[in-house]
């Protein structure tokens, strides 16, 4: 299936995958609501451009979190950020073997955790800029 839809993808949603999958399925396994990999599902739905954008987003998210956790901030802020970051990493690791965005509650929780993580980093950065200590 990827060979046929690789550059552009099939479109967003499990409905698109479920509509296309039967023509590529082996006999007896004609129904699959989604691929069982977050990354394969993103590549299938959005094509190479969507996969590259998601990979860049994950790279920036990880880099931003690791630099914030390593900075000399208050211990409670670092532990909170480390907890959120570990949750995001666990989500991304589970995404290797399951399409975790199939459940919209999990999808929403991922983006809430991502937003909390980015907010914690930005609040910390603003506090450093206001204090005048730019070397962290």
Question: What residue segments make up the domains of the chain, in order of their start?
Answer: 2-129
Predicted confidence at residue 104, as pLDDT, reads 85
How far apart are alpha carbons 102 and 108 in whole angstroms? 11
Q: At residue 52, does pLDDT exceed 90?
A: yes
Q: What is the mean pLDDT of the chain?
A: 79
Predicted confidence at residue 89, as pLDDT, reads 94
How far apart are alpha carbons 44 and 35 in whole angstroms? 9
Contacts of 81 (CB under 8 A, 6+ apart): 65, 68, 69, 117, 120, 121, 124
How far apart are alpha carbons 6 and 9 in whole angstroms? 6
Cβ(117)–Cβ(84) below 8 Å = yes
Q: At residue 123, does pLDDT exceed 60?
A: yes
Contacts of 13 (CB under 8 A, 6+ apart): 45
How far apart are alpha carbons 69 and 127 in whole angstroms? 15
Predicted confidence at residue 2, as pLDDT, reads 59
């Amino acid at each position: 299936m990827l060979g046929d839809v690789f550059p552009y993808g099939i479109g967003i949603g499990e409905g698109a995958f479920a509509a296309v999958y039967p023509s590529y399925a082996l006999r007896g396994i004609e129904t699959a609501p989604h691929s069982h990999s977050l990354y394969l599902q993103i590549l299938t739905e959005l094509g190479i451009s969507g996969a590259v954008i998601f990979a860049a987003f994950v790279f920036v998210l990880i880099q931003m979190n690791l630099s914030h956790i390593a900075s000399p901030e208050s211990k409670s802020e670092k532990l909170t950020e480390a907890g959120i970051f570990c949750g995001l990493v666990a989500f991304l690791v589970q995404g290797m073997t399951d399409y975790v965005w199939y459940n919209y509650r999990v999808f929403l929780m991922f983006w809430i955790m991502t937003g909390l993580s980015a907010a914690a980093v930005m609040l910390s950065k603003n506090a450093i800029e206001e204090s005048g200590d730019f070397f962290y």
